Amino acid sequence: MNSGIPVQYFLILATVMFFTGIYGFLTRRNLITILMSVELILNSVNINFLAFNRYLYPHKLEGMFFSLFIIAVAASEAAVVIAIIINIYRRFTTINVEDVNEMKF
């Protein structure tokens, strides 16, 4: 099927995507872009699961279903995050993450 492409390629792709997401999480100042970075991270994990499932363990559907549920969880998580972000916007009139630091030390 996809025998031409080794599974490692997928994994490397996912890893790069994963750490790109992490980079975004660490650097973006806007809360919404941070949320986007989280989505990137989750997506990369999905790729991993699917690649493993397809290449190595196609006799079961665990990887696929895991990805499915990750998507579902990500969706609900995103909903709550956005709700909170909106609340933050109401309270702080900004969604710059660096300004949201009333509590520290």
Print the binding letters for residues 3-42 with another protein: x by CB under 8 A, - otherwise.
Answer: -xx-xxxxxxxxxxxxxxxxxxxxxxxxxxxxxxxxxxxx
Tokens representing 14 are 């996912």
Q: How many residues bind another protein (CB under 8 A)?
A: 98
Distance CA 43, CA 71 (A): 8
| CB of 93 vs another protein, minimal distance in Å | 9
| CB of 99 vs another protein, minimal distance in Å | 10
Print the binding letters for residues 47-66 with another protein: x by CB under 8 A, - otherwise.
Answer: xxxxxx-xxxxxxxxxxxxx
- DSSP class per residue in 72-102: HHHHHHHHHHHHHHHHHHHHHS--BGGG--S
| CB of 64 vs another protein, minimal distance in Å | 6
Q: List the interface residues with another protein, window 63-82 (CB under 8 A).
A: 63-82
| CB of 53 vs another protein, minimal distance in Å | 8
Distance CA 104, CA 26 (A): 18
Give Cα separations from 40 to 27, 47, 86 (angstroms).
Answer: 14, 11, 21
